[in-house]
Amino acid sequence: GIEAEANKLAKAPKGLDGVIEGTGNVAEDVGKAGKGLEGAAKGAESAAEDAGKVVETSYGKSSGKYDTTADFLTNIENRNGKFYTDKATIDKIGQVEARGEDFSPLNKRIMSSRASTEGGTSVVYKYSDELGTKYLIHEVTDARGYIIHRDFDAVRISSGQLINKEH
């Protein structure tokens, strides 16, 4: 991860050759991960920004500054006891809530499935646990079965409310 790369760079010989070699290794490693040099530059930039910042999350200690669900709850509308928000907000809440989550213990059920305009399928999956629906996730695949789009249709937040995407 980022810490390993930072340690690798910290231990690199201090001469110019060592620095070039050290950054080459990082770029090579990131390149192997399929992110290319742009990803390496962004990763190094964000690692530099995040260095020294440690925050407690519900998933334990983590470096970096993360949004919390609370940052996105201003844009929610209560209609007859059901909560709704726009697509951008539900996707942000979903990203925050799903970060670090192991989906394997959740029950996965297909709620709807139809042919997509891209030649694949458009499927809505419901992930639930003993408290009910945790996520409704919409996935669209192309004709080869590759996921080309995925977003959240609903997310249960830690306080128990299910936040739905407005349709």
Going from the first residue of the chain to its last (167 residues), give the mean pLDDT of each consecutive group of 10, the final group possibly shorter.
53 46 44 39 42 46 62 87 94 92 95 93 96 96 94 94 92
CB 46 within 8 A of CB 128: no
* Residue listed under structure tokens 């909560």: 83
CA distances from 130 to 96, 101, 105, 124, 134 (A): 21, 16, 11, 20, 10
SS3 78: strand
Statement: the pTM of the whole predicted model exceeds 0.95:
no
Counting Cα atoms < 13 Å in the Cβ hemisphere of 158 gives: 11
CB 113 within 8 A of CB 102: no
